[in-house]
Structure 1
Amino acid sequence: MSTTMSVSEARAALSEILERVIGGEEVTLTRHGVAVAVIVRPDVLKVRRAEGVFEAAASVHDVLEQGRRGPLGSQPTISRKRAEVLVADVRTSRLGS
């Protein structure tokens, strides 16, 4: 269940809002009719954030899979000289020089 109230109303009813949230409700606070905040239990917020992270991870996974399955381009994306410079830089970094 969700409740909507103005910020002014919320100031006067903080204890009631907290009890509602503890009971599982979401309370949306509005200012001039525009939603500015939603009060939810911390466990609900954690789940929602985790869902977003999992969705992002799935998206990255899909992109990587497409890259693995797709054909390689016929032309290199960097020149041979640039590749050699990059490899030399990596080797230098590994040696600590």
Structure 2
Amino acid sequence: MKTVGAYEAKTHLSQLLDEVAAGESITITRHGVPVARLVPPTDHKRKNAVEAWERWIAYRKEHNITLGDGVTIRDLIEEGRRY
């Protein structure tokens, strides 16, 4: 994990963000004391979406729900946005 001072973080933020996007974690210090950490985003949204999809599939099977001919998931999403 890389450590940088607050002034350096301020002046080189774009470069630091590139490093974080590449997977690096960076601790920002003020007078040698850690005050913040830049970390790559986690994959929680994707994980939550996969879990929701799996629950939907299980629910459909349990309740014998079919989408119908020609109906797509996109159609259902768009229909839900109307309300």
TM-score scaled to structure 2, two decimals? 0.50
Q: Which protein has the larger Cα radius of gyration, Structure 1 or Structure 2?
A: 1
Q: Which has the higher contact order (CA 8 A, sep 6+)?
A: 2
TM-score scaled to structure 1, two decimals? 0.43
Higher helix proportion: 1
